[in-house]
Each structure stands twice: as C-alpha cells, then as structure tokens.
C-alpha cells in the first residue's frame, strides 16, 4: 500500500487545514463574544472566566494571522479557485 501523497494532494490538505484553523478561531471569537453579552458587565471582570475566553480567542486569531489576511491568501492561492461555505473548491472542483 502506497502512502505517498502527490504534491497536489499535499497542497489541498494544507489549504483545507489552514481554512479549518481560520474558521475555528473565528467561531471561538463569536462564541466568546456571545458569552460576554450573556454575562453583561460581569463578563469583563476577573471573577468570571468569560473575559479571559474572549481575550484568548482574539489572541488566537492574531497568532494565526489576521482572518482577513488568511482569507486573501486562500483566494490568491494557485491551488484554490475559491472557498465557499463548507466546500473547498480547488482548481475548479469541490474537495
């Protein structure tokens, strides 16, 4: 059984992993923002961990590169035609 991947398969998997990381970090920020809204003013004080979750989620988006830059890289990539919703379109076909 041959486990070697072609260069195109590696590029597709790398692009999909980067896209998944971006989506996960954006989802974490949305969830943390909603939690802070639920807690109201208490979401910002140190007694509750909600404020820390929001700071950590925002830091994750900055650590991985800003979401806008990542999206531009996805769209400008030679391997990707475009990324739409949950479907990754690579070289004209869905993967």
Let me know if 64 is a catalytic residue: yes
| β-sheet bridge partners, residue 83 | 88
The C-alpha atoms of residue 74 and residue 93 are separated, in whole angstroms, by 15
- Which is catalytic among the residues 8, 23, 26, 64? 64
Q: How many CB atoms lie within 10 A of CB 81?
A: 14
Residues annotated as catalytic are: 64
């Amino acid at each position: 059984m041959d486990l070697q991947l072609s260069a195109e398969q590696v590029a597709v998997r790398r692009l999909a992993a980067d896209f998944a990381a971006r989506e996960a970090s954006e989802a974490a920020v949305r969830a943390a923002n909603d939690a802070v809204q639920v807690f109201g003013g208490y979401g910002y004080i140190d007694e509750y961990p909600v404020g820390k979750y929001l700071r950590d989620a925002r830091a994750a988006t900055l650590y991985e590169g800003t979401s806008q830059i990542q999206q531009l890289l996805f769209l400008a990539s030679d391997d990707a035609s475009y990324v739409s919703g949950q479907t990754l379109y690579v070289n004209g076909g869905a993967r």
